[in-house]
Amino acid sequence: MPLLQIEDLHVSYQGRTGPVPAVRGISFALERERLGIVGESGSGKSTIGRAILGLLPPSASVTAAQMRLHDIDLLRADQRTLRRIRGKRISMVLQDPKYSLNPVMTVGRQIAESYRVHTRASATEAKRKALEMLEAVRIDNPERVYDLYPHEVSGGMGQRVMIAMMLIPEPELLIADEPTSALDVTVQAQLLVLINELIVRRGMGLILISHNLDLVASFCDRVVVMYAGRVMETCKASELDRARHPYTKGLLACRPLIDRARPELPQLARDPAWLDGPVAA
């Protein structure tokens, strides 16, 4: 049985003038692998992560033929079940630690709290685990960093804290929504290496959501390309350069490349037929 199974997922938000469809019938299955979901703005990629964890506003409508983690039905789960799943079995790392960390609590305490929410650990035990985690995410001097506030740490360090927080309850699946977009390129590389190490060592599944095709291609095992709420193409990351769908090919072609000089970048011509295009992975 796959780790995560999604079939025909539809999500609409409640806009001012009526429902706004964000995801229109996507399906994929995830084993213990690294899956990348790539798309531009409006493709619905960020919505998927939130839909899986039940973190969408109550006015949003979520329907699917199937949405399960192992044998747990995520679609029909009540809030209590979802709360037990969030963090303990599925965790999510968001884009900017400036906004996702509590500004008035030290980072160490936040990590410890993440641990205590899911286990009946004492404060000392939780602190010990938190320090362990800080070391695992390669932060030098974890004792000192434990007492720092989020605004006192750099972006890269904040993301490491975020990862520590999200992995401390030892979930099976990590959803990373643009985890490196707010970071400098040198820090990005280090962070991805770290995530990879932790995922592989713990045998976790990973869903990496990004707008950066190159990042996803080099880091993930499989890639799902989304456009306007639907899946255009799914392929192995190593075979991305042999993509078949015109949207994927167009995206690949319009990237500026350091090692190739071109007078003009080819532009992506959007075919309206894509709006009704393929759905399944």
Partner 1 sequence: MIDIRDVLVSFGSGSHRIDAVRAVSFFVEAGETFGLVGESGCGKSTLLRAIAGLQAIAAGSVSLAGHAVGPSRTRAERRLVQMVFQDPYGSLNPTHTVDRILAEPLAIQRLDKVDQRIDRALGEVGMGSQHRFRYPHQISGGQRQRVAIARALIMEPKILLLDEPTSALDLSVQAEILNLLKRVARDRGLTMLMVSHDLAVIAHMCSRIAVMKGGEIVETLPVDRLRRGEADDGYTRELLSSSLEAKRPG
Partner 2 sequence: MTAVIDDKQSLRAWLLTDAPASRNQARLGRWYSNWLALRRNPLAMAGVAIVVGLLLVAALGPSLVGGSPYTQILTARLEPPSAEHWFGTDQLGRDIFVRVVYGSRITLMLILLVSIIVLPVGLLVGTVAGYFGGLLDILLMRITDLFLALPRLVLALAIASALGPNIQNVIIAIAITSWPPYARLARAETLTIRKSDFVMAARMQGASDLHIIWSHIVPLCMPSIVVRLTLDMAGIVLIAAGLGFLGMGAQPPTPEWGAMVSGGRDFILDQFWVATLPGAAIFVVSLGFNLLGDGMRDVFDPKAAGPKA
Q: Does 254 bind partner 1 (CB under 8 A)?
A: yes
Q: How many CA atoms lie within 13 A of 174 on its CB side?
A: 27
Instruction: Tell me the DSSP string of 125-185.
Output: HHHHHHHHHHHHTT-S-HHHHHT--GGGS-HHHHHHHHHHHHHTT--SEEEEESTTTTS-H
Sole binder of partner 2 in the list 3, 6, 9, 22 (CB under 8 A): 22
Q: Please compute Rg for the chain using Cα positions.
A: 19
Sole binder of partner 2 in the list 16, 80, 201, 260 (CB under 8 A): 16
Q: Which stretch binds partner 2 (CB under 8 A): 39-47, 61-69, 108-116, 189-197?
A: 39-47
Q: Does 264 bind partner 1 (CB under 8 A)?
A: yes
How many residues sit close enough to partner 1 to count as binding (CB under 8 A)?
Answer: 38
Residue 65 interacting partner from partner 1, partner 2, none (CB closer than 5 to 8 Å by kind): none
- Comparison of 122 and 181: residue with beta carbon closer to partner 2: 181
Sole binder of partner 2 in the list 25, 229, 231, 234 (CB under 8 A): 229
Footprint of partner 1 on 178-197 (CB under 8 A): 184-186, 188-189
Q: Does 20 bind partner 2 (CB under 8 A)?
A: yes
CB of 24 to partner 2, least distance (A): 10
Site map for partner 2, 41-60, x if CB under 8 A? -x-x--x---------x-x-
Chain-centre distance for alpha carbon 18 = 28
- Comparison of 31 and 214: residue with beta carbon closer to partner 1: 214
Backbone torsions φ then ψ of 213, nearest 5 degrees: -60, -45
CB of 16 to partner 2, least distance (A): 5
Sole binder of partner 1 in the list 7, 218, 274, 281 (CB under 8 A): 218
Query: Which residue ranges make up the site for partner 2 (CB under 8 A)?
Result: 13-16, 20-23, 42, 44, 47, 57, 59, 229
Query: Which residue ranges make up the site for partner 1 (CB under 8 A)?
Result: 40-41, 155, 184-186, 188-189, 211-215, 217-219, 240-241, 250-268, 270
